[in-house]
Amino acid sequence: MASIDHLRDLGVRAGADGGELRVWSANASAIEACIFDLEDADRVVATAPLQRDAHDVWSVRHPLLTTGACYSLRVRGEGARFDERQDLLDPYARGLVRNSGGQWRSYVQDESFDWGGAQKPRIPLDHTVIYEAHAKGISKLNPAVPEEFRGTYAGLAHESAIAQLKELGVTTIQLLPVHQSVSEERLTKLGFRNYWGYNTLSYFAPHLEYASAAAQAAGPAAVLREFKGMVKLLHEAGLEVILDVVYNHTSEEGPGGPTTSFRGIDDASYYRQSPDGTYIDVTGCGNSLNTSVPAVQRLILDSLRYWANEVQVDGFRFDLAATLGRGASHEFDPEHPLLKSIVEDPALQGVKMIAEPWDVGAGGWQTGNFPLGWLEWNDGYRDRMRDFWLSDIAAERAHGAASQGIGSMTRRFAGSAHVFSEQRGPLASVNFITAHDGFTMADLTSYNRKHNLGNGEFNRDGTDNNHSFNHGWEGPSDDPTITTCRRKAMRNLLGTLLLSAGIPMITAGDEFGRSQRGNNNAYCHDDELSWLPWEHEDWQRDLFEISQRLLRLRRENPALRPVRFGRLGETVPSASEMHWYNAAGQEMSIEDWDSPRQRISQYIAASTPEVEEFNRILLIVQGRESEETVTLPRHDGVETYTLLWDSALDITGPDVHAPGDALRMAPTSMQLFRAD
């Protein structure tokens, strides 16, 4: 993006003799920096006017802009949204403090840190397994963490938490937003707080409240050091760190919301608006950043560079990423310069970039349409897998037949080639069954309806489109028939997720069946409903062990992890050769794919290795609520099938079969074999 190089070095660059502050605004008529006493963020000790250059960059040098200084901006201009009396945050401030009245001040950050040689793990995409978690919630209830570190960055990186992640077998922890955020004014009035953090105040400062009390008391430099220390320890353990980032909107909300930064600096440039100044909100959060403006593009790129290089994080998940790809006409463009620059920027090479590929504006659903280099959350995968193991089973019980056959499920299982181009391949798909937003996996199997009364919105919030099934009783049950079905459904969902082509994402707690009591929008619950429990019942420990086993089987069988899509009649390197058989061991017919009464498929995948040994597997999916007979297929080169996992039972020893053998498969179950 050579056209915006004049926007370099925005924010403060400090030295021993002071520093330079640079701010962009196209519509301001004057900007003044206010510098506060080092010991009192209420008392202004100096003011300095900024000078404007030909590119609308305003700058000033001042001897008091040294490390540890607090400052604000006061901006004058034409229009109701300028108010020179307001103290505004520098959009590039790398630290924040609050004064005695709770107002935020920008802080000149001390970024010194000894990384001690720690390196990014750089996990290959085909080996990546993402674990989505909350920076506070993951350790808040962990009894092994000293009390003063529970719910903090330090608690997340405690040896017990790292050991749990390594024991499970995930490679990459994806944190819900850790940029400094605040709660919405509406939520605060209701007595709630925004626990998830999708309401960003600053794109460069880490969230203060996730640091230990000692770090908070010591100031923003100590908070940043604790964050970097967390990254360092996770990297030393071989674990990657991905940040969930919210560049689509800010915490300034709608035009009547708080003015803290962008709105007071240059509202007309930073936010999408119609010619009369009406906000164009494609995020549902009151405002949308205008990424057709080069300065906004540069802000986002600079923030990414900072976190990826100075803080050493390994990747980013972009909330409502379709908003970032909207141009001046507010329509999504897959060739948008920002989307291209994020994956082409030399300073961001090797960094994983994951899109939530939709927003709530017109034309906002864009799954599969992001440029080469982007990974995407695959919502079609999520919905179809839930349907296959839950909604379709409910329909079969109610009407005698499921609503769909197995074909739609299997094409998503095999990498969603109908969604992602051949050039992008199966690893463009981030597969998930659940996420922070929605039911947990346990609740998918236990509730037909959301139960969000505790959110204070009369159960109006949260989606009604859950694709869930309670198996005959709404909520907790002691009926062994119901609990047995629910737990098998969870095993099937986990098995599907962890054995599919693509990159799997596990939501923290699903590996042991965590429940949110039917709340599918727990964003405002900073309590035990959302925090990760560390005490588990026997069945939960069993589910954790099954999750471990599935992750181990994924690592050990490269046929489950194709890098590329195969082509019929060709041998494509690192693209598993796939063959599909019906219950009788014959090649699948159209009826086998489409009939709601069939719902059985046998899937043989053989790797075409470049760096790993040859591997071949057979996976059988049985989607009927009746016991079915399956004849193992006769396939060239296969002499034996060795059972590796059965979702209906615990394996106690080798179980070897020959092609042509007839197996009895339990209702709604999966079996994975090594095919030799």
Enzyme catalytic residues = 319, 356
CA distance 293 to 298: 9
- The secondary structure of 595-644 as a DSSP string is -TTT-EEEEEEE---SSS---EEEEEEE-SSS-EEEEPP--TT---EEEE
Q: Which is nearest to 366 in space by CA: 342, 331, 393?
A: 331
Angle at alpha carbon of residue 628, lines to 623 and 630, rounded to 5°: 100
603 close to 618: Cβ distance less than 8 angstroms: yes
CA distance 378 to 424: 14
443 close to 518: Cβ distance less than 8 angstroms: yes
Angle at alpha carbon of residue 198, lines to 230 and 379, rounded to 5°: 100
CA distance 513 to 497: 15
Q: Any idea what DSSP says for residue 533?
A: P
The dihedral over CA atoms of 168, 171, 175, 179, expressed in degrees to the nearest 10, equals 150
Helix (H, G, I), strand (E, B) or coil at 554: helix
Q: Any idea what DSSP says for residue 532?
A: P
265 close to 91: Cβ distance less than 8 angstroms: yes
Q: Token pair for residue 193?
A: 């707080």
- Residue 304's φ and ψ, nearest 5 degrees, are -60, -45
Tell whether the torsion through CA atoms of 329, 333, 336 and 342 is positive or negative.
positive
What are residue 621's DSSP bridge partners? 601, 670
Tell whether the torsion through CA atoms of 54, 55, 57 and 63 is positive or negative.
negative
Q: What are the b/e assignments for 88-126, b being 16+ CB within 10 Å?
A: bbbbbbbbbbebeeeebbbbbbbbebeeeebebbebeeb
Q: Any idea what DSSP says for residue 403?
A: S
647 close to 491: Cβ distance less than 8 angstroms: yes
Residue 336's Cα: distance from chain center in Å?
22
Beta strands 51-52 and 57-62: pairing type?
antiparallel
Angle at alpha carbon of residue 566, lines to 560 and 572, rounded to 5°: 100
What are residue 505's DSSP bridge partners? 130, 432
First and final C-alpha spacing in the chain: 52
